[in-house]
Amino acid sequence: MRRLSEVLRETYGEKVYKLSLSSGCTCPNRDGTLGFGGCTFCSEGGSGDFAAACAPIDAQLAEAKARIRRKTDAKRFIAYFQSYTNTYGDLDRLEALYTETLRHEEIEILSLGTRPDCLGGDVLAMLQRLNAIKPVWIELGLQTIHERTAKAVHRGYDLASFERGYHALKALGLTVIVHVIFSLPCETKEDMLDTVRYLAALDPAPDGVKLQMLHVLRGTQLGAQYETAPFPLLGLEEYAELIAESVRILPEETVIHRLTGDAPGSLLIAPEWTRNKKRVLNAIQREIQKV
């Protein structure tokens, strides 16, 4: 298993830290283009609840670096635009924003979270130009390959759309990281592993994968659904076993960016065991070491 932290240290000779930033984008699944409210598991802050407030980029970078430097003497950073859909909006504004970000000497990589249905030709051309300045990583939220689940969580695009976006990015030489969520409503263990097997069979293979447990959050459609009619969620040991199996399935060249995720403690409804990240990582490590 190739972990992101190890790969970055090999490449840059030291630890590289992520700066959580905001591009000011929304999402077609929120603004009425495809729907309102986003995916049912998505909170009001999107996937970037810990990001710096949307402000001029110099101020955002200063705030995010200061937060990290309270604990470390970090010198190299990834500019991480995670919340919502960071290729959706005025492309002139976005290209100017991302170009300005990359001009900061301490920024080594630009990482953008987006949707595969927001990767038109003009967007791809912009990403190619940015990638010529410094490496650009594109994070695609697949979550599951199963159309019934995708419809249930209001993802808003089908698997064919993911495949088109993925292959278009790879054809341009961009680094692609795919997000997967385990324990989505009504999915079995085999359903979840089928998603991992699908990623393992992609040609070319994903550059990276993020694996995480579903967080049921207050203020989300899924949270309201869970509080009315709770559905089964994986326990810690089940999750650790699933992660270990997934790591064995994925190609060696695919870097593991995440084995578990964080959720704002004040918003988390379930599962409670995800609050103790150290315990979760230790359980995963024990399972991985069994083979």
DSSP class of residue 114 equals: E
Q: What six digits make up the tokens of 108?
A: 């080594």
Residue 291 is predicted with a pLDDT of: 62
Residues paired with residue 188 on neighbouring β-strands, in sequence order: none
Which of 84, 163, 80, 93 lies closest to 123, judged by CA? 93
Which of 32, 34, 42, 39 lies closest to 154, judged by CA? 39
CB atoms within 10 A of CB 2: 15
Residue 221 is predicted with a pLDDT of: 95
Angle of helix 189-201 relative to helix 236-249, nearest 10 degrees, comes to: 20
Q: Are 118 and 87 in contact (CB under 8 A)?
A: yes
Question: How many helices and strands in the chain, by DSSP H and E?
Answer: 10, 10
Give residue 25's identity as a one-letter amino acid code: C
CATH of domain 2-212+252-261: 3.20.20.70
Kindly give the confidence (pLDDT) of every residue in the chain, 291 residues in length, as a single tens digit, with 9 standing for 90 and above: 899 999 999 999 999 999 999 999 999 999 999 988 899 999 876 544 444 556 899 999 999 999 999 999 999 999 999 989 999 999 999 999 999 999 999 999 999 999 999 999 999 999 999 999 999 999 999 999 999 999 999 999 999 999 999 999 999 999 999 999 999 999 999 999 999 999 999 999 999 999 999 999 999 999 999 999 999 999 999 999 999 999 999 999 999 999 999 999 999 999 999 999 999 999 999 999 986
